[in-house]
Amino acid sequence: MKSIPDFLKWKADGRAITMVTCYDAATAKILNASSVDSILVGDSCAMVVHGYDSTVHATVEMIATHTAAVRRGAPDKVIIADLPFLSNRKGTEIAMDAVDQLMKAGANAVKLERRKGNIQLIEHIVDSGVPVMGHLGLTPQSVNAFGGFKMQAKSDAAARALIEDAKMLELAGCFSVVLECIPGDVAAQVTEALTIPTIGIGCGPEVSGQVLVVNDLLGMDRSFQPRFARKYANLAETIGQAVDSYCADVQSKAFPAAGEYSSKLVKAAS
Ligand code: KIV
């Protein structure tokens, strides 16, 4: 079974790391049988599963519930659970309660967005025996500060600051860092500057691994197809067609057919 220390080894060996998000046991069961290295129970579940317009609506209870479901479906995979909006900004005790809930739900590690104001907490979590993944660039919990889901680190100064942030996350003990929606050359520089691996989304190929939201990869939402998320299936169409076929069969009485139910002649009592 793969584990958190493998991340460092994979980067050292030049082996690309694969990660997808997952939120439910049924999908996790499929992923458990796949070759994917790791699963992220991302706070994107607030948007993808619960229909909110940002990840600000994710809660510790929400992520813990999804983490427990994913762990039941994927007993053999490395699972990383997101610390949701503000759960790590209300003091150490509240943050550690959140970490405790996510780890007890079945995570192997937690992920935490941004560097500023988080270094001491990251050190404390790591010193408590819990691996931490950092997250820089377009950190969606800050969508309101960014004024939308926009590419980050576009200026030289912002790129330099992000590289410094990444180094500080490594020093604080993070075992890897997610880089989201930053220019490819900046992602390459971060990857070069760190010993720990970078996992990219919308950052090009020069990172240590890639992560995609599983619903994007599977083509579950016809109305949302970001440029960076390659669609490997078109499940929105497949599911829609399957349900339409089912409805047509029910209406024409083609379903259920012989063999899809039991029949037993019961003689009426005389
Ligand atoms: O919540 C999430 O899905 C994420 C990934 C996009 C990295 O943080």
Ligand 1: residue whose CA is nearest its atom 4: 42
* Tokens of residue 226, six digits: 């970001």
Per-residue pLDDT reduced to its tens digit, 136-177: 999 999 999 999 999 999 999 999 999 999 999 999 999 999
Largest interatomic CA distance in the chain: 92
Cα–Cα distance measured from residue 170 to residue 154, given in angstroms and rounded to the nearest whole number = 22
Which residues pair with residue 36 across a beta bridge? none
pTM: 0.96
Per-residue pLDDT reduced to its tens digit, 31-45: 999 999 999 999 999
**197 Cβ below 6 A of ligand 1:** no
Per-residue pLDDT reduced to its tens digit, 59-80: 999 999 999 999 999 999 999 9
User: What's the pLDDT at 264?
Assistant: 78
Cα–Cα distance measured from residue 212 to residue 202, given in angstroms and rounded to the nearest whole number = 9
The upper half-sphere exposure of residue 153, i.e. CA atoms within 13 Å in the direction of its Cβ, equals 26
**46 Cβ below 6 A of ligand 1:** no
5-237: which CATH topology? Answer: TIM Barrel (3.20.20)
Ligand 1: residue whose CA is nearest its atom 1: 42
- Residues with a known catalytic role: 180
